Amino acid sequence: MFTRSLILAAAAGASLAAAPALAAPARPNIIVIIADDLGFGDTGAYGSPQVKTPHIDALARDGVRFTQGYVAHPVCAPSRAALMTGRYQTRFGYEFNPVGRDRTGGVSRDEVFLPQVLKDAGYSTGMVGKWHLGQPSGYHPLDRGFDSFFGIMTGATAFMTDFQAGDEEITPPGAEASFGIAEGVRAPPGATEAEKMTLLRKAAPVYRGREAVEEDAYLTDAFTREAISFIDAAAGRPFFLYLAHAAPHTPLQAPARYIARNSDIPDKGQRVYAAMVTALDDGVGRIRAELKARDLEKNTVIVFLSDNGCAGYVGTACSNGPLNGFKGLHLEGGVRVPYIISAPGRFRRGGVEDQVVSSLDIVPTAAALAGATLPKGTDGENLVPYLSGPKPKGFERRLFWRSGPNTAVRDGAWKLWSVNRAEPGESESLSAGITPDGVQARVSAQGVYDMLYNLAEDPGESRNLAATRPEVVARLKAEITEWDRGNVPAQWTSMRQAVRRHEGQMLKIYP
């Protein structure tokens, strides 16, 4: 079992496995690029037959591509909270998406964020993109360790508001609540798409620092532009850049120049989604080109991942193939994501590895690279010894998840997901609906439904072994109970409660 990380001081890192270190410059720059709702199967590096991502693919070739990289939650804000702290979000109550409640609160101010750790070690820190971790004073990115901020505070906004010939957008049935209603926007009947997006951008504006600004560029391009500006301004001292994209989250929108590059895709939803990924991929390429031009490429560590799997409510637009499930579910398609770490000249290159890793590992790994002191209580692990030198022997891993009464654990090859059964009369809904605030997630009188999978033999989670391996179910449940002793109650209720049919069962989900 993974234990909590030790405090890491300057040149010392907790060792997962003995591995000779490569000679490398001290105190590298660190860039974390996180996509929003990017499907496991929606990049070339992870096997997409139609989404073209040459720059992400090149990043993977120059680094290590993990085939079993996980996030700590299958929806946006809790997942990002865990990434920023290196701690399970259930340790501090950020268990469910805020759905607007981050206007008055956010992640506990007792939590130490990664930019605070690196800033104390002398790094310049900048954030570009989607925050979603608290909007009031005290919770703002500039109050959590970032020297600069350009982006959105909310969970979503319009990527564009002025639509021209050749631009495309699509809102699959049931998807609007994933952006418009969630930000308090209800467009009048008959409103055009441009009018709807203008209302959304007004409700969820783009900020520079603490001031709302007008932004005419396609949002993904604007984020890339600002990321490069930060790199230019920070050059000369070690820096940390958190580039938290909002793409390809809804609303699904892309300008003509990206649509044209995906014109071979006949399905409109898939075409617009792929175009959004194209813009993101171009951004990765532009950032790497800037690093190379400034002779920073070999002393910069780039981590690329998604905050969760792609969303089922966008229909066939995206793919988590070959995994089962979508965003919001603790199936592999909800929590296993593209996960690449690249540092030419520092870490080995070209590895495709099945070692289980987590977004929780980013904080301790970055702290070790920076020679920073890691706060007590982190749940991740320092990956530097694993990434340095020839591939070492793999290490054992346990990962846990909790969303209300629903829990999951991955221990070795075994995965257990225990889910609340729906109450009689509840019907399935695949849309991104809104549950009124305050509706508690309690264990159903119908009990829970256990799903046990051997991921080494069944990565698609198609064969439930709970009935034939009760001793494994009992052991894993005991592990969850012990882990859960370190968690706290959720700070607010789930406003995305839904019923899903799975394995012939009606199950209650609490994203």
Tell me the CB-side half-sphere exposure of residue 170, using CA atoms within 13 A: 20
Structure tokens that stand for 236 in this block: 């000369």
Q: Residue type for 115, please? A: P
Active site residue 310: no
CB 30 within 8 A of CB 395: no
Lookup result for tokens 């209800």: 186
Structure tokens that stand for 189 in this block: 């009947």
Pairing of β 63-70 and β 351-358: parallel
CB 316 within 8 A of CB 270: yes
- Alpha-carbon torsion 198, 201, 202, 203, what sign? positive
Q: Which of these, 117, 167, 103, lies nearest to 146 by C-alpha position?
A: 117
* C-alpha–C-alpha distance, residues 196 and 178, integer Å: 14
Q: Which of these, 80, 78, 170, lies nearest to 487 by C-alpha position?
A: 78
CB 274 within 8 A of CB 50: yes
* C-alpha–C-alpha distance, residues 272 and 193, integer Å: 15
CA distances from 78 to 100, 168, 485, 490 (A): 14, 30, 19, 11
Among 132, 140, 330, 502, the active-site one is 132
Residue 381 CA from chain centroid, whole number: 18
CB 35 within 8 A of CB 394: no
Active site residue 76: yes
The 3-state secondary structure of 177-219 reads HHCCHHHCCCCCCCCCHHHHHHHHHHHCCEEECCEEECCCCCH
The 3-state secondary structure of 322-371 reads CCCCCCCCCCHHHHEEEEEEECCCCCCCCEEEEEEEEHHHHHHHHHHHHC
* C-alpha–C-alpha distance, residues 421 and 448, integer Å: 5
Among 76, 310, 318, 330, the active-site one is 76
Q: Is 371 left (phi over 0), alpha (psi -120 to 50) or beta?
A: left
CA distances from 489 to 96, 381, 403 (A): 11, 25, 11
Q: Active-site residues: which are they?
A: 76, 132
